[in-house]
């Protein structure tokens, strides 16, 4: 491309065009700079929110300490149970024995040659009693062992399936088990209403039992293997049986209180430092933090400072 600068008109047209373009791009650069400022501010606000959430979490941990008291459970290692204590615990010594675990009942039938043959168990009614509720399952001639299992599986609180043992001439067995543990959730199956075929006879593989624990000689029962409402502030998760009593000593845990308070202090200082750095303004040095002139951030800090400078008399 050929350019003629002032050869005819005497005007430096190239310089003039550049000046016009530079002048017209001024608003664009201003908008871009403002957009970059907003983007930086948004990023820093997001960081501040994250730090405030951490501070909130540490404050909630302190609130969980009842009357600023924390406890710890000390005992010899055992596979029978784990123990957790909270601020509502009562200091003392507890001799704990796990006598039985909570289990759901399981019933298994005799074997069948096929899981898909229609009419294998006959036709009629198979009565299932789970806890205090009896359900009658209608078995028709076109139903296989798998079909019956599917019908049983539809009963509230019951799980049923066909187990393939993989051995022998009759490897397929009907399994019926409860979803709930505890002695109240027994299973009774009555196949006397079936005719034709081979009616299933069931063997109790696992009995429905409640968990039984003794604490200082007092028996406690539970339908689950989590005992959390017997001893104030103590939760036992049962996993096995004990051969003898395990002594659990519950003692005040002052270090836990200190650690939680320190965690809150650290989180607050982290927020304060971050806001301070992002609020720096130095015109001569060309420094302007993301929070300069941000009234909402100032209100947040005033609120937080009010919380930590308030005198609480409830603790004496």
Q: For the packed helices 295-309 and 254-277, what is the interaxial angle rounded to 10 degrees?
A: 150
pLDDT at 204: 97
- Report how far apart, in Å, the C-alpha atoms of 122 and of each of 111, 150, 197 are: 15, 16, 4
- Residue 283: pLDDT band (50, 70, 90) is confident
pLDDT at 312: 62
- Residue 252: pLDDT band (50, 70, 90) is confident
| DSSP state letter for 69 | -
Half-sphere CA count of 289, side-chain side, radius 13 A: 16
Q: Flag whether the pTM goes above 0.85.
A: no
77-108 pLDDT tens trace: 999 999 999 878 888 999 999 999 999 999 99
Virtual torsion, Cα 33, 39, 45, 47, nearest 10 deg? -120
Structure tokens at 219: 């028996």
Evaluate if residue 262 carries a pLDDT over 90: no
- 277/179: higher pLDDT: 179
- Residue 279: pLDDT band (50, 70, 90) is confident
Average pLDDT over residues 192-214: 96
DSSP, collapsed to helix, strand or coil, labels residue 179 as coil
- Residue 264: pLDDT band (50, 70, 90) is confident
Other beta carbons less than 10 A from residue 194's beta carbon: 19
Q: Taking a C-beta distance cutoff of 8 angstroms, is the pair 158, 177 a contact?
A: yes
Other beta carbons less than 10 A from residue 240's beta carbon: 12
Please report the sign of the dihedral spanned by the C-alpha atoms of residue 24, residue 28, residue 34, residue 36: negative
Distance CA 19, CA 28 (A): 15
Distance CA 105, CA 158 (A): 10
What are the helix (H) ranges across 90-207? 145-153
Evaluate if residue 24 carries a pLDDT over 90: no
pLDDT at 165: 95
pLDDT at 25: 59
Cα 95–chain centre separation = 31
pLDDT at 12: 64
Q: Taking a C-beta distance cutoff of 8 angstroms, is the pair 129, 185 a contact?
A: no
Distance CA 222, CA 206 (A): 17
Percent of all residues in the chain with a pLDDT value above 90, rounded to a whole number: 52
The continuous run of DSSP H or E covering 29 comes out as helix 13-63
Evaluate if residue 31 carries a pLDDT over 60: no
Average pLDDT over residues 49-57: 87
Other beta carbons less than 10 A from residue 247's beta carbon: 13
183-192 pLDDT tens trace: 999 999 999 9
- Report how far apart, in Å, the C-alpha atoms of 282 and of each of 101, 129, 140 are: 69, 81, 88
Average pLDDT, the chain: 86
Distance CA 270, CA 52 (A): 9
């Amino acid at each position: 491309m050929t350019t003629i600068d002032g050869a005819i008109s005497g005007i430096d047209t190239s310089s003039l065009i550049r000046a016009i373009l530079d002048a017209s791009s001024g608003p664009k650069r201003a908008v871009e700079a403002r957009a970059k400022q907003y983007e930086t501010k948004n990023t820093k606000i997001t960081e501040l929110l994250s730090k405030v959430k951490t501070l909130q979490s540490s404050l909630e941990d302190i609130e969980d300490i009842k009357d600023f008291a924390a406890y710890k459970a000390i005992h010899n290692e055992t596979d029978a149970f784990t123990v957790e204590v909270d601020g509502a615990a009562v200091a003392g010594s507890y001799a704990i024995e796990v006598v039985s675990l909570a289990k759901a009942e399981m019933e298994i039938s005799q074997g069948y040659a096929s899981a898909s043959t229609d009419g294998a168990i006959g036709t009629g009614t198979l009565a299932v009693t789970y806890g205090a509720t009896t359900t009658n399952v209608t078995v028709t001639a076109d139903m296989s062992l798998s079909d019956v299992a599917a019908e049983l599986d539809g009963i509230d609180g019951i799980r049923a399936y066909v187990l393939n043992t993989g051995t022998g001439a009759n490897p397929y067995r009907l399994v019926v088990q409860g979803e709930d543990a505890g002695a109240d959730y027994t299973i009774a199956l009555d196949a006397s209403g079936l005719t034709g075929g081979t009616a299933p006879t069931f063997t109790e593989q696992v009995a429905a039992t409640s968990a039984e624990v003794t604490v200082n000689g007092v028996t406690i029962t539970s339908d689950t293997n989590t005992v959390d409402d017997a001893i104030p502030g103590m939760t036992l998760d049962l996993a096995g049986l004990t051969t003898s009593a395990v002594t659990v000593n519950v003692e005040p845990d002052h270090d836990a209180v200190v650690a939680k308070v320190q965690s809150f202090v650290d989180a607050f200082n982290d927020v304060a430092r971050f806001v301070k750095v992002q609020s720096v303004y130095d015109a001569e040095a060309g420094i302007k933090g993301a929070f300069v002139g941000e009234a909402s951030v100032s209100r947040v800090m005033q609120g937080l400072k009010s919380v930590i400078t308030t005198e609480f008399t409830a603790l004496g």
